[in-house]
Amino acid sequence: MSPGPGVRRRYVGKTLRRLREARGLTVSVVAKKLGMAQPSLTRIENGRNAIMSRHVYRLCEIYEAGKAETDRLMRLAEESRERGWWESYSDVISDWFEIYASLESDADQILTYQSEFVPGLFQTPGYIRACFQASNPEASEAAGHRMVDLRQARQLRLQDRDVTALVNEGAVRRGVGGPDVMRAQLEYLITVIEKQHAKIRIVPFTAGAHPAMSGPFTMLKFPDMDEIDLVYLENERGSLYLERPADLLRYTDVFTQTQRAALSPAESADLLRKIVQET
């Protein structure tokens, strides 16, 4: 998998942060020198925002970086501004999710816990439309079709990733879109499990209380990292990214403990078959 714009952004940001810290400069001091808002510089260093090559050049001047490193970072900054596949769906995708789509596309491992929905990577067209219509009752039918196209394009591009999804039993028992839609959704999950396209494990009601009950989350690992590097939290109006070592350790522990409470993939498939029969 060749590095995409998200990986390049992260690399440029991390390198610029390392150069700044080596010079003993604070974000506020550098932002003032650059004529940029401090939060904007922080987002650049965290790989959230793309950066223009002229800003890279100026930062490298401030950090007294060598010509070779300056040229390399400027080239990577230009490449990080390439259009991503998700940009053609800007009519149905939020700005904050575009950032996540960029990062997700460059991850080689995805770990997620979902409590209310079947994970987006495994949703069927009928399920996608039903969820979209429930949260956007005024949206047109055409917008619903566009959301299906977006979700399927995302699924196609991530089908070779290492994905482990822990799904609360309530999410697969909730009758989204009616019996036919839900039956098709559950049968698709069974197929994914049986063909080992991904590791889907149901957290059953019988597990009782478990560490992930505070809410859904997703963790990403990138090719240049040995461990989980990012935790993504999403709500109705936006998203939050956690990268502090303490946060990464905590969510890794939450995922590990919840995974212990989950059914095995084979047991999960058996439960899904039982629910299909009841649907």
DSSP string, 10-51: HHHHHHHHHHHHHTT--HHHHHHHHT--HHHHHHHHTTSS--
Q: Is residue 138 domain-shared with residue 58, that is, in the same domain? A: no
For 122, which DSSP code? G
Question: Tokens at residue 54, please?
Answer: 């002229």
Note down the domain range covering 49: 5-79
- In the listed set 79, 100, 118, which residue is the last one of a domain according to the structure? 79
- Count Cα neighbours of 6 within 13 Å in the Cβ-side half-sphere: 22
Asked if 147 and 131 touch (Cβ cutoff 8 Å), the reply is no
- Is 87's pLDDT higher than 80? no
Q: Which residue has the higher pLDDT, 157 or 191?
A: 191
Q: Which single residue is written with the structure tokens 């409470």?
A: 261
Return the pLDDT at 150: 92
Residues 45-75: pLDDT tens digits?
Answer: 888 777 888 899 999 999 999 998 899 899 8
Q: Is residue 110 domain-shared with residue 235, that is, in the same domain? A: yes
Q: Is residue 161 domain-shared with residue 204, that is, in the same domain? A: yes
Q: Is residue 72 domain-shared with residue 119, that is, in the same domain? A: no
Q: Which residue has the higher pLDDT, 53 or 204?
A: 204
Q: Which residue has the higher pLDDT, 81 or 168?
A: 168
Asked if 143 and 92 touch (Cβ cutoff 8 Å), the reply is yes
Q: Is residue 126 domain-shared with residue 62, that is, in the same domain? A: no
- In the listed set 79, 104, 127, which residue is the last one of a domain according to the structure? 79
Q: Is residue 104 domain-shared with residue 70, that is, in the same domain? A: no
Q: Is residue 213 domain-shared with residue 163, that is, in the same domain? A: yes
Q: Which residue has the higher pLDDT, 99 or 104?
A: 104
Q: Is residue 243 domain-shared with residue 273, that is, in the same domain? A: yes
Report percent pLDDT > 70 for the chain.
Answer: 96
Q: Is residue 75 domain-shared with residue 93, that is, in the same domain? A: no
Q: Which residue has the higher pLDDT, 97 or 125?
A: 125
CATH number of the domain enclosing 18: 1.10.260.40
Asked if 219 and 255 touch (Cβ cutoff 8 Å), the reply is yes
Cα–Cα distance measured from residue 42 to residue 48, given in angstroms and rounded to the nearest whole number: 9
**pTM of this prediction?**
0.77
Determine which of 37-46, 104-113, 141-150, 218-227 has the lowest per-residue pLDDT on average: 218-227
Return the pLDDT at 1: 47
Q: Using pLDDT thresholds of 50, 70 and 90, give the confidence band for residue 113.
A: very high
Residues 149-172: pLDDT tens digits?
Answer: 999 999 988 888 899 999 999 999
Q: Which residues, including other chains, have CB under 8 Å from residue 72's CB and lie 6 or more apart?
A: none
Q: Is residue 199 domain-shared with residue 64, that is, in the same domain? A: no
Return the pLDDT at 3: 54
Q: What is the mean pLDDT of residues 109-117?
A: 97
Q: Is residue 135 domain-shared with residue 229, that is, in the same domain? A: yes
- In the listed set 21, 56, 79, which residue is the last one of a domain according to the structure? 79
217 forms bridges with which residues in the sheet? Answer: 113
Return the pLDDT at 104: 87
Q: Is residue 90 domain-shared with residue 65, that is, in the same domain? A: no
Return the pLDDT at 190: 97
Instruction: Please give the tally of structural domains in the chain.
Output: 2
CATH number of the domain enclosing 244: 3.30.870
Q: How confident is the prediction for the chain on average, in pLDDT?
A: 90
